Structure formats: C-alpha cells, structure tokens
C-alpha cells in the first residue's frame, strides 16, 4: 500500500479561521472585529461559496492597511427609537457593523415584534445570509440588503451605474437547517466569463453585453462590456430597489458613489437595511416550524426532473456543504494559497499550509 | 373628409370604473368594496398592464357568486400590538383586505417608525404595487408580498407546487412619479406561450419545461409542461421565501394549498406580508427625495444601448402609461368586450360600449 502524499490543500476550518484572525489582529484590529471577519469568511467557505471565502482575506486587509476601512472608530447610534434605529458605521468594518445592526434588530424585534435598522457608512459585509441566519437562529425572520459598487448598466444603458446590491431573507425551518435566501442581482459572477474565455467556450445568452451594448455569447466581448442583471429588466429594478433601501434610506452613498472591496483606497460608502420580525409574536413558533417542515417535505418528496436526482430548498445545499467541509477541511487552490502566503509573510505570520 | 367611425374600443377610465363598481354592487358588495376592486383593476389598465385589468372583473365576480370569496364578513384584527399586527381577512375580498392592511401599516409606521401587518385568509389582490404606492404616496417605503396558487415546479422538479408569489417595494421619488418595483417570480406569463403557439413561433430558452421536465422552446410542449421561474433557481428560491413571509408567517395556507383566482370555487387561502417604514423617522424626507432625484437623473442621463432610445427607472413607464391612457381611454379587445358584455347581461347591466 502506497502512502498518500500529505494533502496540504485541505485545511481544517478552525485552523484557517485562527490564521485569518491572527493576520487581522496583527493589523491592529480588535480581537472581536478580527474574529467576525474571519468567521464570516470561513463560513462562506463552509457553505460552499469560496468566492466569498478566505480568498478575500487580504482584499479586506488591503483596505484596512490603506485606511479606507477605519478600525479605530466605534459604530454610533444616530437614532434609537424602539423598533426603528439608524446606525452610523463610521466607515468601519462592514462585517462588524452589519453584525451589530442585526443583533440590535433581533433585540428590538423581541421587544416590539418588528424592527428595522438602517445602516450608513458601512463597508462590504461579505455574504448576506451570514447575518440573516442570526435572526433565523433566534426564532425570527430576518432581512438584510446592501448596496454595492457599480457593476452593471441600467436596463437599456451601457454605463456601469448599478451594483449587484445583494439581499437575503432567512427563517427557521423546524428540524431542518434554516431556510436561507441570498440573492445577488447579477446574472453571473464575472469569474465565469474569465473561465469561459480561458477554456474557449461561449457564455450563455443573457449573461453579458459587449462594449457597445449588444448582447454577446463571446466571453472576451462580455469582459470588455458588462454583466447583465438576473431576469433582465426585473433584476435591474430589484437592484435599484435595494439601493434605495440600503443607500438612500440610510443617508449613505448610492448609485455610482460606492467603492467596491476590490479597491484598496476610497471610503466604501455602502449602506444596509436590516428588518427582523419575531415569529412568536405573530403565531406560536411550533406551528410555524411545523408548517415550514410540511412545505419543505412536500417539495423534497415531489417528483424530480430527469436531469436531477434531488430537489433542494434554499439553504439546504449550504447546510450540507457545511457538514461535509467541516469534516473534510477547506480546499484551497494553489492560487489562493499563494495569495494568502504573500499577505501573511508581510505580517510576519506563518501560514498553516505550504 | 370622411367621418371616422365611432371608436367603441376606447372607453374613458372613469366610465369603465363606474361600470365595474356598478356590476359589483349589483352582486351585493358594499360600495366601498366594489370601488376598491374597480379602482385596482382600472389602475392596472392605466399603468399598461391589461392582464391585471378590467378583463379580470368577472373572474373575481364568479368567485363572489360562488361564495368562495366571502362578502359579508369584516376582516378582524387577531393581533394589534403597536408596530406589529395580524389581520384575518375571513376569506374576503383580497383587494379590500390588502388595502386595509396597508392603510393600517402606514398609520402604525407613522407612529412607530416601522410596522408589519401579517394577513391571513385573504384573497387574490391583483397588482401588488397598487398597495405599496399608497405607502410611497404617504412618504413611506412600502413592501407587500402574497403567495399564489401553484404554477411552477420547485427547481429540479416537475410537479406544480410553487406559486409566482408576487412582491413589491415602492418609495417616493421627489418630483418624479414614485419608484415602484413589482415582481412576479415566473419567467413569463402563460399567455405568451399561447400567443407563440398561435403565431407558430418558438419561445425563449428559460421560459418553460416540457411535461417530462426537459427545457423546451416549443410553445405547445411548454403549455403541456410548465413555466420556469425568473432567473432559474434564484426565482424558485425567491418564490419560496415569499410563501414563507406571506403564507406561513401569517398562519394562512401555503404551497399547493392555495386556490387561484381563475377557479370559481374553493377558498383562496392566500396570505400577505405588509411592511412600511416612515422615511421621515430615518432622515429628513426632503433629503431622501433629493437623493432619489439624483439617482434617477444619473441613470436617465446615462448613455443608452444602440437598441434603446431611453432608460427608465422602475415605475416610470407605468406613470407615463397612466397619463397617456387617462387621456386616450382604455382600449379593450373584442374578446374582453364580449366577456364583459356576457357578465353584465347576467346582472341586467348595460355595458358602456357596444
């Protein structure tokens, strides 16, 4: 029997989380802030969304290093009026600001039944359902939206003015892992266009426009042009609505005034809206959970299409990935390992992998 | 100069609204209920959405006549707890129940900053933004969702278990007509498949599955199969979320237990969720409006794609249609006129057209 070579590409999630937190603390972040960034990144990897995982560590790091993300100011309550509140993130760490807003919204909902927290001057917070799951775990329905740096044209236009402005709703689901919806309003991640170009394949209709504003299935033309919203004009309209809720209602930045997490410099300007409803105030939570189980069972036990072996409800695949990847460790590509190595070296920190 | 023949297909909107209300009152509806159904139908026609307009009058009428829609019971508050409330529609008229819920949610938001009204045992309410516009007109941001009778399969399945579960957000927009988002989660209205079959044209990819669960561009196969959600699995997930918010949170019916407005018999069972935020509690309304104008202007003044002459923001086309059709009258096809004539005759009412 041959010895297997040591598999250095799969790292236990706790090891990676500690590594990420150590890097961030060495950048002078408070321990609590370091842990929330680290945890939210690792959670994305565990859910099977590596695009929002640890590969982003030093993207956030670069903005902290440049001072674009402020680490020395505390978020401040500008309005604290029972069910409704406004939180000024003071250009701080999006993950910490959003977590504080969600925790507060949950407390407010437990007291008033329904709550909203408008967040201004926040930063890119990563995966939206990381926050709404907190509400679901507390027996509530949770909503969060954020605006984002412009990545798409308005429907019928060619200038990048509209962000993919993510939004999420989550709810408990009885004995099932919780129901989690997490939507970005672009038809496709930009990375898929790069991948298609690299593998010399056409892209799907409805993914991209070329630089002149014509639909294209050529990935290179799409890269030179821009990504389309989900569901055509509907996705454009949804993205605009999320900008109104997140940026304008909170008196934060909006439209083309947002700086994205890929830029080292420049204040982010993003805003969020958090809404939480305490389910037990509306109806007994056991009955709610029983209905959720019944809905999920009816869908999962229905006949599958010939191309599918199983039907999933929103959030189920993430829960399954979480279980599998928690056991197996997080797989990092050579590329990501190299990026993390460079970032860690600059901080004098050893990576937990070679 | 030849005399033009009298144009009997374009009827002033007020005339049609009065006709609709007269028909409904002769079916023993209270005047107020008759007017809200009539007004919401005519409003859909004025916004340029005839599929939700007066052509539906006797679909609602048939459900009233059969007793599936109860007209003698008042909606009842089951919870009245400040910002949060639960309204039991008592299987009544969806339009009246939803209007009552929205009006109450606006009052509650004016007092508490944020409000939610969960609505159970309601009926099909027509166009979602008819209600959220009420919030926008009151200086608020308004949300409404409803579940609906099953029309789509869960993603990866072939059985009709998921409704198109519409949802809407509206907001004031300063000197512009208000911002209105109104989403149904199906890729296409079923009528478009019938139209394609009649005109012998293929349908777009992503619109429908055939009866075995394979994607199809043949309209007849799509009619025998089913409509797909918007944006693939994302639309399925959004539809499920709206069912959770509308049907399960309110303790109404959900999933495949909803009866649609096209059925004469059977209690509807739909629920809604209404959320309202009073903008002035979050920031000065003038500043909100100025930012809305600035966002809209930046989008409308941006470069158009070669295939487009103008860029619209959500709700703008509806406002423009409203102005035009208010002047010109509502155009009714021969088909719709014939349907209205039959319904009116049974009530002994004369149509205001031949």
Number of structural domains in chain A:
2
Indicate if the pLDDT at residue A147 is higher than 60.
yes
Q: Do A110 and A249 fall into the same domain? A: yes
Q: Is position A131 within any domain?
A: yes
Helices (H), A162-310: 190-198, 219-224, 233-243, 279-282, 285-300
Determine the Cα–Cα distance for residues A190 and A305; give it in Å rounded to an integer: 29
Match 């609906």 to its residue by tokens: B148
Range list of β-strands (E), B174-320: 176-183, 208-209, 215-216, 226-227, 272-278
In a domain, A241, yes or no: yes
Q: Is the pLDDT of residue B5 over 60?
A: no
Q: Which range (A1-15, B72-86, B109-123, B171-185) has the least confidence?
A: A1-15
A317 and B CB contact within 8 Å: no
Assign residue B18 the CATH number of its domain: 1.10.1530.10
Chain A residues whose beta carbon lies within 8 Å of the beta carbon of residue B86: 282-283
Does A313 sit within 8 Å of B282, measured CB to CB? Answer: no
Cα–Cα distance list, B97 to B33, B71, B94, B247, B277 (Å): 9, 11, 5, 15, 20
Tell me what pLDDT residue A8 has. 54
pLDDT score of A294: 98
B39 and B121 assigned to the same domain: no
pLDDT score of A3 more than 70: no
Judge if A2 and A90 occupy the same domain.
no
List the single range of A219-228, B74-83, B316-325 with lowest mean pLDDT.
A219-228
Are residues A85 and A179 located together in one domain of the fold?
A: yes
Q: Does B128 touch chain A (CB under 8 A)?
A: no
Give the tens place of pLDDT for each residue, B180-233.
999 999 998 887 888 899 899 999 988 999 999 999 999 999 999 989 999 999
Q: What local confidence, expressed as pLDDT, does residue A1 receive?
A: 41
In a domain, A258, yes or no: yes
pLDDT above 70 coverage of chain B, percent? 98
B152: nearest CA partner in chain A? A299
Residue of B nearest to A172 (CA): B244
pTM listed for this prediction: 0.96
Minimal C-alpha gap between A175 and chain B (Å): 16
- Judge if A282 and A248 occupy the same domain: yes
Question: What length is written for chain A?
Answer: 354
Nearest C-alpha in A relative to B257:
A295
Residue A137 within a domain:
yes
Chain B hits for A178, Cβ within 8 Å? none
Does residue B81 sit at the A interface (CB-CB below 8 Å)?
Answer: yes
Q: Which of A276-280, A310-314, B222-226 comes out lowest in average pLDDT?
A: B222-226
With an 8 Å Cβ cutoff, is B301 touching chain A? no
Instruction: Tell whether B145 and B262 lie within a shared domain.
Output: yes
Chain B contacts in chain A segment 198-217 (CB below 8 A): 205-206, 209, 212-214
The angle subtended at Cα A344 by Cα A339 and Cα A347, nearest 5°, is: 140
Residue B173 predicted with pLDDT over 60: yes
Domain contains B305? no
A283 inside 8 A of chain B by CB: yes
- Mean of all residue pLDDT scores within chain A: 95
What six digits make up the tokens of A276? 């939480």
CA neighbours closer than 13 Å in the CB half-sphere of residue A293 = 9
Cα atoms in the Cβ-side hemisphere of radius 13 Å centred on B95 = 25
Segment A274-288 shows an average pLDDT of 98
Residues A132 and A77 in one domain: yes
pLDDT, position B240? 98
- Say if residue A4's pLDDT is above 80: no
B153 and B29 assigned to the same domain: no
A60 inside 8 A of chain B by CB? no
- Domain co-membership, A237 together with A179: yes
Distance from CA of B39 to the nearest CA of A (A): 25
**Are A158 and A285 contained in the same domain?**
yes
Residue whose structure tokens are 């709550």 = A115
Q: Do A179 and B241 touch (CB under 8 A)?
A: yes
B271 and B139 part of one domain? yes
Nearest to A303 among B118, B155, B157 (CB): B157
* pLDDT at B132 (0 to 100): 98
Contacts of A288 in chain B (CB under 8 A): 248-249, 251
pLDDT of residue B1: 41
Report yes or no: B159 at the A interface, CB cutoff 8 Å.
yes
- What's the average model confidence in pLDDT over B147-164? 95
Q: What is the ipTM of this complex?
A: 0.96
In this structure, the answer to whether residues A239 and A156 fall within a common structural domain is yes
Q: How confident is the model at residue B298 (pLDDT cuts 50, 70, 90)?
A: very high
Quick check: A156 and B311 CB within 8 A? Answer: yes
pLDDT at B192: 86
CB-closest option in B116, B243, B281 to A84: B281
Q: How far is A269 from chain B (nearest CA, A)?
A: 14
Considering A260, A281, A300, which residue would you say is the last residue of a domain?
A300
User: How distant is the Cα of A195 from the closest Cα of chain B, in angstroms?
Assistant: 21
Q: How far is CA A196 from the centre of its chain?
A: 24
The CATH number of the domain where B79 resides is what?
3.30.1370.60
Q: Is any Cβ of chain B less than 8 angstroms from the Cβ of A156?
A: yes
- In 3D space, the residue among B266, B274, B270 whose CA is nearest the CA of residue B252 turns out to be B270
Under the banding of pLDDT at 50, 70 and 90, the label for residue B307 is confident
CB contact under 8 A, B161 and A255: no
Q: Does the beta carbon of B276 lie under 8 angstroms from any beta carbon of chain A?
A: no
Residue B179 lies in a domain: yes
Its domain, for residue A128, covers 73-186+229-300
């Amino acid at each position: 029997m041959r010895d297997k070579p040591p598999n250095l590409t799969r790292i236990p999630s706790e090891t990676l989380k500690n590594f990420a937190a150590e890097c961030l603390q060495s950048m002078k972040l408070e321990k609590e802030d370091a842990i929330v960034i680290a945890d939210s990144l690792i959670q994305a990897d565990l859910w099977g969304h590596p695009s929002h995982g640890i590969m982003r560590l030093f993207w956030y790091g670069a903005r902290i290093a440049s001072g674009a993300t402020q680490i020395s100011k505390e978020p401040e309550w500008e309005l604290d009026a029972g069910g409704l509140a406004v939180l000024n993130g003071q250009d701080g760490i999006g993950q910490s600001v959003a977590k504080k807003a969600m925790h507060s919204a949950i407390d407010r909902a437990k007291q008033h039944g329904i709550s909203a927290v408008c967040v201004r001057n926040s930063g890119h917070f990563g995966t939206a359902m990381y926050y709404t799951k907190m509400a679901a775990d507390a027996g509530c329905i949770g909503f969060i939206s954020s605006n984002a740096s412009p990545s798409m044209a308005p429907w019928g236009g060619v200038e990048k003015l509209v962000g993919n402005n993510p939004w999420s709703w989550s709810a408990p689901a009885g004995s099932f892992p919780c129901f989690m919806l997490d939507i970005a309003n672009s038809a496709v991640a930009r990375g898929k266009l790069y991948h298609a170009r690299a593998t010399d394949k056409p892209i799907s209709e409805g993914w991209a426009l070329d630089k002149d504003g014509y639909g294209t299935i050529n990935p290179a033309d799409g890269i030179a042009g821009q990504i389309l919203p989900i569901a055509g004009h509907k996705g454009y309209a949804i993205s605009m609505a999320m900008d109104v809720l997140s940026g304008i209602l909170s008196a934060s930045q909006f439209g083309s005034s947002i700086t994205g997490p890929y830029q080292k410099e420049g204040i982010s300007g993003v805003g969020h809206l958090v809404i939480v409803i305490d389910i037990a105030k509306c109806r007994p939570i056991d009955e709610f959970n029983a209905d959720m189980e019944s809905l999920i069972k009816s869908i999962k036990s229905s006949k599958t299409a010939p191309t599918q072996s199983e039907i999933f409800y929103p959030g189920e695949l993430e829960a399954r990935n979480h279980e599998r990847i928690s056991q197996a460790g997080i797989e990092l590509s050579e590329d990501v390992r190299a990026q993390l190595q460079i970032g860690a070296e600059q901080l004098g920190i050893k990576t937990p992998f070679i």
